[in-house]
Structures are given as structure tokens and as C-alpha cells.
Amino acid sequence: MLAILAAMPEEAKYQTIPQRRLADLIYRTLTARDPEILLGNPKRNGMWQGMAKYAIQRLAISDFDQALAWVEEFAFESSSPYFSKDHFLAGLVPVASRVAPERLIGLLDSLQTHDEWPSALKEACQSSMSEEARTVLTEYLDGRENANLRLQGRCALARSILWSEGFGPAVSYLQDLLPTEDVASGISMLAKNYDAGNSPSENAEWIYDHLEHVEKFDILTKYIEEWMQYDIQGAGEWLGKRRDDPGARPVIEDFIKRIREIAPQSAEIWASELSAGG
């Protein structure tokens, strides 16, 4: 495959459309099969640069130290921020969160004065899949002076817990670490992930059964709004179980209002299905 690349013009503007498509397919195939082959290819044109970050991430999953060594030795300064050493280091941060949490602090500290740092930190938090990584990142966030950064980071960590363990553990994490006034906001952010963790109906059930009355229905409304974008039937059937609960009426009425906006032909059917005592 490298021989095919070598026979092509280096600059994309000199390539035909079929050549560009073939080159893209070759680079993607090389990256998936053996990222070291792509990284060792001396023909570092624009397409190579576009795939290099992904190749380094793939390599880091199997050999993090080797990927880091490649960045330190071969990554080059560029007028484009997307091909700089910092860009490649930032790409290693979410991988470290999964496979090498002991390297996280060093990587984040090396990026702290660069534009890549906030997004790298958020990606690390969202990618954390182990207790060790979450502990490292929680302690790191505790040392930041920016309150909004701490809030965003902890919410991203809670999102990773939501995906792996469900709504309850994620909310417990937020309740343990966030100031009381920020908990509802954090839970609202979690509610945007309708299909994370457990099934949508189990997540909705948890919100309904465990949250305080004052915040429950506001957050549940947001959750149902997100859910119904992908599965109106499932969201409606879950609400049908609560149609005789006076406290759930605002959520049901909001659901019907949105049905009228996106599927008016079925609004009256849902209104009848979800009427109290129906």
C-alpha cells in the first residue's frame, strides 16, 4: 500500500479525486491495522498529518510509552496548531485516562500553558473508565482555582460514570463533590445523555424515584425531551405509567406540547393515551 502512495503526487491538489479517495482509504487502513507503519512513512503530506493523531492514539492503546516517545522525538513544530507537538500530546491525554492514568498529571501539566489544555482535560475526564483515573483527575481538579473549570471537569467525570455504571452512581458522585447549588445543574447535564448507562426507562425511573421534588420534574422534563428525539414511543410509554400522578402532569403536558411541534398528526392520540384516568 505504501508503494501505491509513493506513486501518487504528494500534494492533494495534484491528485485526481479517485486518487485522493484511494489515498484516504490506504491511510485509514494502515492506521487501523498497524499505526507504526503509518507513523514511519516518510511521505508526510497533508493527508498523513490528518491521520497522524489518530495513529498515535491507536499506538498508545497498545504501547503508551512508545507513542509518547514518538511524539517527543518526531513531532514537529508547525504553523498549524493541528500538527504541533502539543496537539499530538493532547491526543494522548484521553488514552492515558484509559490505559495509563499514572501519566495523566505529567501530560496535563505539560499542556497547561497551551490552548489544548482545557479540551484535553475535559476529554480525559469523559474517557476515564477506572477508579484510579477518576481519583487522579478528581484530585487534579481540586487543585484548580477556576470554579467553572472544576464544575465542568467533575460533570465530565460524572458522565463517564453514567456510561459505565448508570445514573445513580453518577449522581452520587456529583452530590459528594459539588457545592449544593451546583448539583441540579450537574444532573441536568447528565440528563442530556438519555441512552447512557442503563436503559432510558431505568434512568428515567431513577430520576423519578430518587431526586427531590423541587428539582425532579425540571430534570425529568429535560431527560424526556432528549429521549423523545430518538424514541418518542419509548418515552411516551414510560410517561403512560405516571399519567395518574398529579406531580407528573407538567412533564406529560410538556411531552404533548413537543409532540404537537414535531409530529402533530399523532398529538391527539398521545393526549388521549396520557390523560389522567385514561
Rounded average pLDDT per 10-residue block, the chain, 278 residues: 48 49 58 60 54 78 86 64 76 91 92 85 89 92 88 89 86 87 81 71 84 76 88 91 85 91 86 76
pLDDT of residue 246: 81
Q: What is the pTM (predicted TM-score) of this model?
A: 0.68
pLDDT of residue 184: 80
pLDDT of residue 198: 65
For 19, half-sphere exposure in the C-beta direction (CA atoms, 13 angstrom radius) is 13
Domain spans, the chain: 1-61, 75-181, 198-278
pLDDT of residue 96: 93
pLDDT of residue 258: 92
- In the chain the first and final C-alpha atoms are separated, in Å, by 65
State the Cα torsion 56-57-63-66 to the nearest 10°: 30
Listed as own residue / partner, the contacts of 27-31 with beta carbons closer than 8 Å and 24 or more positions apart are 27/51, 29/1, 30/1, 30/2, 30/55, 31/55, 31/58
Residue 122 makes CB contacts below 8 A (sequence gap 6+) with 152, 153, 156
DSSP track, 5-50: HHTS-SSGGGS-HHHHHHHHHHHHHHHHH-HHHHHT-S---HHHHH
